[in-house]
């Protein structure tokens, strides 16, 4: 198979992550108009996103496991069909519980079918510039706030939130199903055949022992804390800016600036990781993220939000693809979908806390200050965990280690 096709995989993956995760995260844009139209509480609406992340976590592990055995194409094709269906059904919801179930569960199941399988597939197509390639696939998440979110806001202003969500569901079918059909299995890597130097390459190792290894515990713990730190600030950013006096469309533009910064952050951090080492770039990015989150309590004007969005967006966007590269380096290609799916499950649990806790903090105190301060503290915790990453295994290290050692 022509290896130039790997860039088709990157393009298809970027499109799918943009549409799928953009549709999911657009609930932040729907939050205000839904609360005003339906009189549902912010915490109640936000809890749909919490359900979304919890289900997405379990789904990521399941779909990653399935993609290791059957390939990514059937997984993302099923996800494409489910996502459009979920958004169409959620747009017809007439009660909060109905919306929470359709949006929270079905969108979560559908969205989880894209990220881990496509990232895992992409790592198999690249032996060099792997960090950059993975960053380009996940760059779709950075493009989403510049495309799906403003489009959702325009539809809401032109029609209503139900029509906007329905239209996005239909467009998900139109864009995702053809993209899913482009996905192919990666070719067999000569590097992987001749240089088995990862935990998963040991013949007697089991998944249970992989998940108990220090490598996975640190990987999953860092991913969890990182996402727990930034999920609330991202989800409630539009509402926070609006409360500070920023107009609705301008507030959405802050979200878009974060997405643009995240796009460039993925490219910059991915390139640096290929040159300087993925672990040190990850630690630096996590520290910048924590600092930026804490600084949000000091801003109130639009230009200040823009400046901070550039720093925050590039940091959280830049570090996200690096977890997949670490998973590949530690565990190899054979079970990358399963391992990264499990790590994504932990990250999704972390993501689940932010929207719900942020809504509860605002409903209780009328302010988002404690959300940002608390999230910054969690972000520093992610830095501390990441410092515990063990060195990558080498053939010499493996031959000296007991069989099955984690």
Residue 73 has pLDDT above 90, yes or no: yes
Average of per-residue pLDDT values in the chain? 84
- Please determine, for residue 146, whether its predicted confidence score (pLDDT) is greater than 80: no
Alpha-carbon dihedral 280, 285, 290, 291, rounded to 10 degrees: 100
What is the set of domains in the chain, with CATH numbers? 3-184+207-390 (1.20.1250.20)
Q: What is the pLDDT of residue 189?
A: 58
- Model confidence pLDDT, tens digit, residues 188-208: 654 544 444 555 555 456 777
| pLDDT one-digit tens code per residue, 76-94 | 999 999 999 999 999 998 8
pLDDT value of residue 2: 60
| pLDDT (average), residues 384-406 | 60
Which of 210-214, 251-255, 299-303, 382-386 bottoms out in mean pLDDT, i.e. has the lowest? 251-255
pTM over 0.85: no
Kindly indicate the confidence band of residue 400, based on its pLDDT and cuts at 50, 70 and 90: very low
The pLDDT score that the predictor gives to residue 24 is 87
223-246: per-residue pLDDT in tens?
Answer: 999 999 998 888 888 888 888 888
More confident residue, 128 or 309: 309
Q: What is the pLDDT of residue 289?
A: 95
% of the chain surpassing 90 pLDDT: 32
Per-residue confidence (pLDDT) for residue 195, from 0 to 100: 46
pLDDT of residue 333 exceeding 80: no
pLDDT band at 353 (very low <50, low <70, confident <90, very high): confident
Quote the radius of gyration of the chain (alpha carbons, Å): 20
pLDDT of residue 398: 39
Q: Which of 44-48, 67-71, 85-89, 141-145 has the lowest mean pLDDT?
A: 141-145
What's the pLDDT at 177?
Answer: 95
> Among 192-201, 217-226, 362-371, where is mean pLDDT lowest?
192-201
CB 122 within 8 A of CB 139: no
Structure tokens belonging to residue 399: 């031959």
| pLDDT top residue among 61 and 168 | 168
- How sure is the predictor about 39, in pLDDT bands with cuts at 50, 70 and 90? confident
What pLDDT shows up at residue 197? Answer: 52
d(CA 110, CA 59): 8
| Average pLDDT, integer, range 270-286 | 90
- The answer to whether the beta carbons of residues 230 and 375 sit under 8 Å apart is yes
Q: Give the chain's length.
A: 406
3-state secondary structure the chain: CCHHHHHHHHHHHHHHHHHHHHHHHCHHHHHHHHHHHHCCCHHHHHHHHHHHHHHHHHHHHHHHHHHHHHCHHHHHHHHHHHHHHHHHHHHCCCCHHHHHHHHHHHHHHHHCCCHHHHHHHHHHHCCCCHHHHHHHHHHHHHHHHHHHHHHHHHHHHHCCHHHHHHHHHHHHHHHHHHHHHCCCCCCCCHHHHHCCCCHHHCCCCCHHHHHHCHHHHHHHHHHHHHHHHHHHHHHCHHHHHHHCCCCHHHHHHHHHHHHHHHHHHHHHHHHHHHHHCHHHHHHHHHHHHHHHHHHHHHCCCHHHHHHHHHHHHHHHHHHCCHHHHHHHHHHCCCCHHHHHHHHHHHHHHHHHHHHHHHHHHHHHHCCCHHHHHHHHHHHHHHHHHHCCCCCCCCHHHHHHCCCCCC
pLDDT of 142 reads 67
Higher-confidence residue of 145 and 195: namely: 145
pLDDT tens profile 300-321: 888 999 999 999 999 988 898 8
């Amino acid at each position: 198979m022509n290896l130039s096709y790997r860039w088709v995989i990157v393009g298809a993956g970027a499109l799918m992550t943009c549409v799928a995760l953009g549709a999911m995260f657009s609930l932040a844009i729907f939050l205000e108009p839904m609360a005003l139209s339906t009189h549902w509480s912010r915490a109640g609406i936000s809890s749909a996103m919490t359900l979304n992340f919890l289900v997405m976590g379990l789904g990521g592990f399941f779909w990653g496991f399935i993609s290791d055995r059957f390939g990514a194409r059937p997984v993302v094709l099923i996800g494409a069909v489910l996502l459009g269906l979920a958004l169409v059904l959620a747009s017809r919801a007439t009660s909060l519980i109905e919306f929470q179930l359709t949006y929270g569960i079905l969108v979560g199941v559908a969205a989880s079918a894209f990220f881990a399988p496509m990232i895992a597939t992409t790592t198999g197509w690249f032996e060099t510039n792997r960090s950059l390639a993975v960053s380009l696939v996940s760059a779709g998440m950075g493009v989403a706030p510049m495309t799906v979110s403003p489009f959702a806001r325009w539809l809401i202003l032109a029609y209503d939130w139900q029509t906007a969500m329905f239209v996005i569901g239909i467009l998900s079918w139109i864009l995702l199903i053809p993209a899913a059909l482009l996905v192919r299995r990666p070719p067999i890597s000569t590097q992987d055949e001749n240089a088995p130097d990862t935990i998963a390459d040991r013949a007697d190792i089991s998944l249970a022992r992989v998940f108990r290894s220090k490598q996975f515990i640190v990987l999953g713990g860092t991913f969890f804390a990182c996402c727990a730190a930034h999920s609330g600030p991202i989800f409630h950013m539009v509402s926070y800016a609006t409360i500070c006096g920023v107009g609705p469309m301008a507030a959405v533009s802050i979200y878009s600036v974060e997405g643009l910064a995240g796009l460039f952050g993925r490219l910059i951090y991915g390139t640096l990781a290929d040159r300087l080492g993925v672990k040190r770039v990850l630690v630096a990015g996590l520290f910048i993220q924590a600092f930026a989150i804490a600084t949000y309590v000091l801003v109130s004007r639009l230009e200040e939000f823009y400046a901070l969005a550039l720093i925050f967006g590039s940091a959280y966007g830049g570090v996200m693809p690096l977890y997949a590269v670490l998973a590949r380096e530690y565990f190899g290609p054979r079970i990358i979908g399963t391992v990264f799916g499990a790590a994504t499950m932990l990250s999704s649990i972390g993501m689940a806390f932010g929207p719900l806790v942020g809504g509860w903090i605002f409903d209780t105190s009328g302010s988002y200050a404690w959300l940002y301060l608390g999230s910054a503290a969690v972000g520093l915790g992610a830095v501390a965990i990441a410092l515990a990453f063990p060195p990558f295994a080498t053939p010499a290290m493996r031959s000296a280690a007991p069989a099955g050692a984690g």
